[in-house]
């Protein structure tokens, strides 16, 4: 291992969001179908590092993970004056679309976890034709709250400690010690009030009940996967959500919790690799169909 250099490369891209320049940090690896990965509330794109290092998957996918503004190495915009950070559905959607446009990604696959999974549902509602496929991890149209988010940002409680301790129970007991600690470390490092502000989207602004029924999976395939140990977004929440969407694929992942890609990357791979392979095969079939169609047109014209 000594001297081994991982394949992903990190860079900054300037993205216009809401008319203002944002300096967004992203990491990428591989070539092929663009696959944009969205991190969970209060964390950052480091959660995706194992996928970015996957030699097999990056043969066919250009995997890209970015830190949302206020997260990881994406600073708040210059205009921020310290007012309370609150992520909204509209702002989150705009950020993802703006990032994809800034990198000139053509019909990317988007995979998001937790709040990233919820916003994937909103992308499926509002912009299905912009995407090749959508994957929601730990995603549902709504889930019942299980703690008061005001504990996450107050001067008499250590924000990093309480954020990590709250989400620690969402990790499956089978997940290895190292990845578990690394998953929690990102929570210990989050900016003050940022996890809470992300949960404004999750708890208040992003309730998609009554809107998901209109999702057209023929315009964009939708895959929903939830870990059996996630008691925040439970498998029942995801199955209920999928049942309301014609054509949605749903999977309950054994021995995984709320952070499948970072808490137990090997176990997660057993679920996500076949889905990414399916997306790739669908792409090949689509191309070969359109090729044979244009060949036929060529013969008859």
Partner 1 sequence: MTLTSASDAAVAEKFAAIPAMLDRTPALIARGGWLDCECLLGPVDHPFHISIRRGAIVDMTPAPVLMRSWRFAYRASPVAWAEYWQPMPRPGWHDLLALTKRKQATLEGDLHPFMTHLQYFKDLLALPRAHGRETA
> Interface residues with partner 1 (CB under 8 A)?
144, 146-147, 151, 156-158, 161-162, 164-166, 168-170, 172-174, 228-229, 231, 234
CB of 249 to partner 1, least distance (A): 21
Whichever of 44 and 230 has its CB closer to partner 1, that residue is 230
Q: Least Å distance between CB 182 and partner 1? A: 16
Nearer to partner 1, 80 or 151 (CB): 151
Shortest distance in whole angstroms from residue 43 CB to partner 1: 17
Q: Which is nearer to partner 1, 181 or 219 (CB)?
A: 181
Q: Which is nearer to partner 1, 93 or 189 (CB)?
A: 189
**Residue 147 CB, nearest distance to partner 1 (Å)?**
6
- The span from the CA of 256 to the CA of 228, in Å, is 6
Q: Among 292, 261, 285, 251, which Cα is nearest to 57's?
A: 261
Query: In the complex with partner 1, which residue's Cβ is closer, 122 or 143?
Result: 143
Residues 6+ apart with CB under 8 A from 273: 56, 57
> Cβ 211 to partner 1, closest distance in Å?
25
Which residues have a Cβ under 8 Å from the Cβ of 20 and sit 6 or more positions away?
77, 78, 79
* Rounded least distance, CB 270 to partner 1, Å: 18
Task: Report the residue number, 159 or 221, with the smaller CB distance to partner 1.
Answer: 159
What 43-47 contacts at long range (C-beta under 8 Å, 24+ apart), as own/partner pairs, is 43/71, 43/72, 43/183, 43/186, 43/187, 43/190, 44/68, 44/71, 44/72, 44/73, 44/186, 44/190, 45/71, 45/72, 46/72, 46/182, 46/186, 46/262, 47/113, 47/183, 47/186, 47/259, 47/261, 47/262
Closer CB to partner 1, residue 144 or residue 299? 144
Cα first-last separation, the chain: 60
Strands (E), the chain: 9-17, 20-29, 33-38, 61-66, 109-113, 133-137, 222-227, 249-253
- Measured from the CB of residue 170, what is the shortest distance to partner 1 in angstroms? 8
Strands 133-137 and 222-227 turn out to be parallel
């Amino acid at each position: 291992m000594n001297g081994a250099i991982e394949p992903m490369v990190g860079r900054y891209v300037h993205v216009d969001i809401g008319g203002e320049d944002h300096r967004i940090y992203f990491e990428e690896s591989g070539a092929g179908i663009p696959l944009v990965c969205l991190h969970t509330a209060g964390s950052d794109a480091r959660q995706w590092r194992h996928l970015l290092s996957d030699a097999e998957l990056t043969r066919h996918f250009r995997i890209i993970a970015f830190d949302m503004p206020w997260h990881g190495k994406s600073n708040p915009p210059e205009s921020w004056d310290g007012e309370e950070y609150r992520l909204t559905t509209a702002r989150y959607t705009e950020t993802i679309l703006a990032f994809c446009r800034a990198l000139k990604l053509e019909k990317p696959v988007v995979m998001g976890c937790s709040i990233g999974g919820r916003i994937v549902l909103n992308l499926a509602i509002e912009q299905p034709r912009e995407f090749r496929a959508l994957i929601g991890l730990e995603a549902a149209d709504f889930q019942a709250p299980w703690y008061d988010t005001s504990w996450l940002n107050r001067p008499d409680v250590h924000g990093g400690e309480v954020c990590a301790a709250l989400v620690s129970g969402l990790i499956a007991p089978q997940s290895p010690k190292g990845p578990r600690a690394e998953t929690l470390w990102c929570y210990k490092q989050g900016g003050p009030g940022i996890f809470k502000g992300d949960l404004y989207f999750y708890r208040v602004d992003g309730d998609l009940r009554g809107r998901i029924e209109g999702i057209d999976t023929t315009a964009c395939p939708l895959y929903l996967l939830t870990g059996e140990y996630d008691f925040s977004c439970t498998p029942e929440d995801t199955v209920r959500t999928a049942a309301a969407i014609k054509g949605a694929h749903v999977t309950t992942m054994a021995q995984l919790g709320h952070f499948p890609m970072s808490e137990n990357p090997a176990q997660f791979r057993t679920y996500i690799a076949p889905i990414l392979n399916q997306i790739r095969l669908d792409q090949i079939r689509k191309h070969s169909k359109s090729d044979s169609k244009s060949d036929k047109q060529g013969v008859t014209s």
